[in-house]
Amino acid sequence: MRRRLDTRDESGQVLVLFAIALVALIGMLGLVIDVGHAYFVHRALQADADAAATAGANELPSAANAVATAQAYGGSAGGKNVRDNIPGVSTNAATQCLTRAPCNPVNAVVVTEHADVQTFFARVLGINSIGVTARATACSPCETRPLDIMLVLDRTGSMCWDHFGRPDPGCTDLENAREGMKTFLQFMDPGTVRVGLAVLPPAVSMSDRCSRPPDLSSYDDNSAPYVISPLSTDFAHDGQLDSSSQLVSTIDCVLGGGGTSYATALEAAQAELDAHGRANVQDVIVFLSDGAANYGPSYYGDTSPYRVQPCHQGVSSAGAIKAHGTLVYSIGYDLDALDGGANTCQDSWGNLEAPSISAYDTLRAIATSPDTFYNKPGPGDLKTIFTQIASDVTGTRLIDDSQS
């Protein structure tokens, strides 16, 4: 008789092996998911670190302001980039000095963002969290870059009015412009950068550059100086503005008055760059105006576009300047004043300019590109805009940490 084979029930062993394999598989899949989530968090933290470092660098050379601003733009609690889906972020900001660029006293901001990311599935393997860190460095200036720069200031009578056209004895708008320009100068290295100042209306004479300009008559004098502080390098020493220098003292003393004519002021600024600028150095014009052009010098004749189309002529004059290779920044300030009346271009006799053009469109066309046009439609602090322009011309940017 043939024996029946002894078959034992192995289903229990298979279940045990399957359970072990399943745990391992869940652990591996969970680890992949958790690592992927950690990667997502890292990208978010890197974006926040980049933004915080760049914002902080825009406040240099003030180390305190740079650190405070970087912290404010970080992803930690209270920061402008805090994310509800990434809790517990810490932001650390510090300044340092890159030796390859001007440093008075610091020229770089380093931001570190860190978060412990809680896991979902990797806990099966005993991994409860994954530490994620992102680091970014931004510099300003990032390199020594020679520049010849002319500031062109609209110091017309409306700079001493409020938004509604009422007299402002404190000339708040003009004071905002002064502080903005001085903020700009704080970013400039006098070892490599020359800066001058032109104004509109022009001064009656250089000796009267701090006097209030007459309403329109200085425009009609073709010897009246628009450039009231030539290109110079004495505006700062040891990282501090020199209030006794011609440039800074002139910025502080100019008074508001008169009407608005862009073209000749821009041309005079370029003439100063041509006459006293350096060869093979980038020329820059930074132009601020609070309203539309409404006059042209009488010596051009009544049929001249300078007289008939002051805004369009400003665009044409700027076009020739840009063709020369000059980088032009323009700032429209409080163009919505007078219920938009400040935005209306007129000829020299008070008629609407034809074809119609607004101050906003004029100033945007005067700029080299949309990226170099800044609009501040209402009155207020101009330091941020001048800081952004300074950062642009000096090269504020994120850098590879290996270069720091």
151 lies in the same domain as 241: yes
Query: Looking at 104, 139, 174, which one is the last position of a domain?
Result: 139
C-alpha span between 257 and 45 (Å, rounded): 50
8-state DSSP, 286:
E
Confidence class for position 390, pLDDT limits 50, 70, 90 = confident
81 lies in the same domain as 126: yes
In a domain, 276, yes or no: yes
pLDDT reading at 256 higher than 70: yes
The mean-pLDDT minimum among 13-27, 170-184, 235-249, 277-291 falls in: 13-27
In this prediction, residues 380-401 reach a mean pLDDT of 83
191-213 core/surface letters (b: 16 or more CB in 10 A; e: else) = ebbbbbbbbbbbbbeeeebeeeb
Q: Are 158 and 337 in contact (CB under 8 A)?
A: yes
pLDDT digit string, tens, across residues 310-321: 999 999 999 999
276 vs 19: which has the higher pLDDT:
276
110 lies in the same domain as 182: no
231 lies in the same domain as 87: no
Q: What DSSP letter does each residue of 153-183 carry, written as one string? A: EE--GGGGB-TTS-B-TT-HHHHHHHHHHHH
Tokens of 182: 């001085």
159 lies in the same domain as 60: no
Rg (CA), the chain: 30
In a domain, 5, yes or no: no
301 lies in the same domain as 320: yes
Tokens of 223: 């010897």
Map 334-345 to HEC letters: CCCCHHHHHHEC
292 lies in the same domain as 260: yes
pLDDT digit string, tens, across residues 295-347: 999 999 999 999 999 999 999 999 999 999 999 999 999 999 888 778 999 99
pLDDT at 402: 59
pLDDT at 37: 83
Distance of CA 238 to the CA centre of its chain: 24
pLDDT at 399: 82
User: For the chain, what is the domain count?
Assistant: 2
Q: Which residues contact 329 (CB under 8 A, 6 or more apart)?
A: 284, 285, 286, 287, 367, 368, 372, 373, 374, 389, 392
C-alpha span between 118 and 247 (Å, rounded): 57
186 lies in the same domain as 50: no
Query: Looking at 94, 117, 139, which one is the last position of a domain?
Result: 139
In a domain, 129, yes or no: yes
pLDDT at 400: 76
In a domain, 4, yes or no: no
Q: Which residues contact 78 (CB under 8 A, 6 or more apart)?
A: none
Q: Which residues contact 213 (CB under 8 A, 6 or more apart)?
A: 155, 201, 202, 203, 204, 255, 257, 258
In a domain, 338, yes or no: yes
Q: Which CATH number is 319's domain given?
A: 3.40.50.410
151 lies in the same domain as 25: no
Is the whole-model pTM more than 0.85? Answer: no
In a domain, 238, yes or no: yes
293 lies in the same domain as 352: yes
pLDDT at 30: 65
234 lies in the same domain as 368: yes
In a domain, 400, yes or no: no
Query: Looking at 139, 168, 185, which one is the last position of a domain?
Result: 139
Name residue 316's beta-bridge partners.
Answer: none
Question: φ and ψ at 199, to 5 degrees?
Answer: -130, 160
Distance of CA 375 to the CA centre of its chain: 12
In a domain, 402, yes or no: no
104 lies in the same domain as 180: no
Instruction: Give me the domain span that covers residue 242.
Output: 147-395
Confidence class for position 24, pLDDT limits 50, 70, 90 = low
